[in-house]
Amino acid sequence: MNELHSQLEGILRQTSAWNKLRVEITALEENFSRQQFFYLFAICPRWLKSDANSVNISAMLDSAMFDPFGVMTHWRATQVARLYLLIKLYDYSNAVEYHHVIDELFKTADVNEQILLVQSLQFIPQAELFVERAREAARSNIESVFSAVAHNTPYAKTYFNNDGWDQLILKAAFLAVPIWNIVGLKERNNFRLVTMLKDYVLERQAASRSVPWDLFCCPGWLAQGEEDLQFIAGQFQRGTLKIQQAICLALQENAHEPAVYLAQQLKTQLLNPLDSWQAIAELED
């Protein structure tokens, strides 16, 4: 964590607001005040406004080590400063204070602050303390807030229990946001989730509504018995090209021989079978 802290500080040193930030942070270290911390967190956008486009975060951050999913490469100086403050908070407050202050930030956050706080969970100490806050984001109907916990972060994979995980994937289907690239999707896939997704598919189809193409990776990966394979084959026949491609690839990645055999059969009906989820995602709907 100290190395990430140092890299963030290096980025902030390039901003016009660094001297003001440094003075306020030093004061907090010497005499911590919740009110002053909240003020400093809130004032960051104003102080760093002139640096919005002048700091090249990608060039100054060791992304491979600290940000493998590239979240911070899309940030501006304001977000970097706020993450820096959250990490510093852990250093100059006790565990109870640390938890309470961040919890209060979640309670009062606007949408942009919610996104930043949720995205920051993968970087801050004792991130497990904030699982319920992350699950609130996973229940959000605001796509950008939901995506902050669903995409480009291992947080849900690491800390959500089975119920929380399954609800996250079902919510992604409901919001029609990408499912295929949720971190941990294959590792956390399970039969209970597959049953929920199958029920969701049948409900949507009964109402003549569309179904997300990448939903089918989950049942495809775990299809084993004859009933599972019949369901998958039936969905292939009625599905769009993207659904057909997804079903074939999921079955191909299944560990069971009957599923792989079905994949080979179904692929003969495709003009150009694709072998990556990214390639399927790039197909036109």
Task: Express each pLDDT in 191-222 by its tens digit.
Answer: 999 999 999 999 999 999 999 999 999 999 99
Q: In this structure, are residues 85 and 37 in contact, taking their beta carbons and an 8 Å threshold?
A: yes
pLDDT of residue 58 exceeding 80: no
* Cα angle value 268/272/273 (rounded, 5°): 65
Sign of CA dihedral 181, 184, 190, 192: negative
Q: Which helix (H) or strand (E) holds 87?
A: helix 77-91
Closest CA relative to residue 137, chosen from 126, 148, 124: 148
Mean pLDDT of 88-98: 91
Closest CA relative to residue 254, chosen from 177, 183, 186: 186
**pLDDT band at residue 54, thresholds of 50, 70 and 90?**
low
Q: pLDDT at position 125, please?
A: 96
- Output 274 or 63, whichever has higher pLDDT: 274
**pLDDT band at residue 118, thresholds of 50, 70 and 90?**
very high
Task: Express each pLDDT in 243-283 by its tens digit.
Answer: 999 999 999 999 999 999 999 999 999 999 999 999 999 99
Q: In this structure, are residues 112 and 78 in contact, taking their beta carbons and an 8 Å threshold?
A: no
Q: Which amino acid is at 178?
A: P
Task: Express each pLDDT in 141-176 by its tens digit.
Answer: 999 999 999 999 999 999 999 999 999 999 999 999
- Say how far apart CA 18 and CA 16 lie, in whole Å: 6
Closest CA relative to residue 222, chosen from 258, 171, 270: 258
Q: pLDDT at position 52, please?
A: 67
Q: Is 260 helix (H, G, I), strand (E, B) or coil?
A: helix
Mean pLDDT of 28-50: 93
